[in-house]
């Protein structure tokens, strides 16, 4: 088992459970990255009934968001707050929050390809 925390929300933008914190996410084995041969964790989104990879979150983390912060941001989105308000609450730059949201969107497309290959 890879040392990856189970995320609590779906990162796939076209999923009905996108960023829903009521959704159930579980481990779903691993998959191999063709280019590097690395194994990565895969997850299953129960609400949307699809697999996705841990890479969905990597862009977010690279942009200096912690899992906890991102989870908080997810909740705030759920409460209907805008990007600027979330940035204010988390004391982050607006562009950082925008980057998190865009990161999810970018990776969603790659997941879609990933899921189709599985």
Stretch that binds Zn ion, among 10-18, 56-64, 92-100, 101-109 (CB under 5 A): 10-18
Would you say 51 or 94 has its CB closer to Zn ion? 51
Binder to Zn ion among 25, 45, 76, 97 (CB under 5 A)? Answer: 45
Would you say 17 or 97 has its CB closer to Zn ion? 17
Following DSSP, what letter does each residue of the chain receive, concatenated? --S-PPPSSB--TTSTTBT-TTS-EEEEEEEE-TTT--EEEEEEETTTTEEEETHHHHHHHHTT--HHHHHHHHHHHHTT--HHHHHHHHT--HHHHHHHHHHHHHHHHHHHHHHHH-
Question: Which residues of this protein are in contact with Zn ion, per CB under 5 A?
Answer: 10, 12, 15, 17, 45, 48
């Amino acid at each position: 088992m890879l040392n990856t925390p189970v995320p609590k929300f779906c990162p796939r933008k076209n999923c009905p459970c996108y960023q829903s914190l009521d959704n159930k996410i579980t481990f779903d084995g691993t998959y191999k990255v063709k280019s590097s041969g690395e194994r990565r964790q895969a997850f299953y989104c129960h609400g949307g009934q699809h697999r996705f990879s841990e890479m969905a979150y990597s862009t977010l983390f690279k942009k200096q968001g912690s899992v906890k912060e991102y989870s908080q941001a997810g909740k705030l989105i759920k409460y209907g707050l805008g990007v600027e308000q979330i940035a204010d609450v988390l004391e982050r730059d607006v562009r950082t929050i925008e980057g998190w949201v865009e990161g999810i969107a970018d990776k969603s497309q790659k997941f879609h390809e990933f899921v189709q290959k599985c």
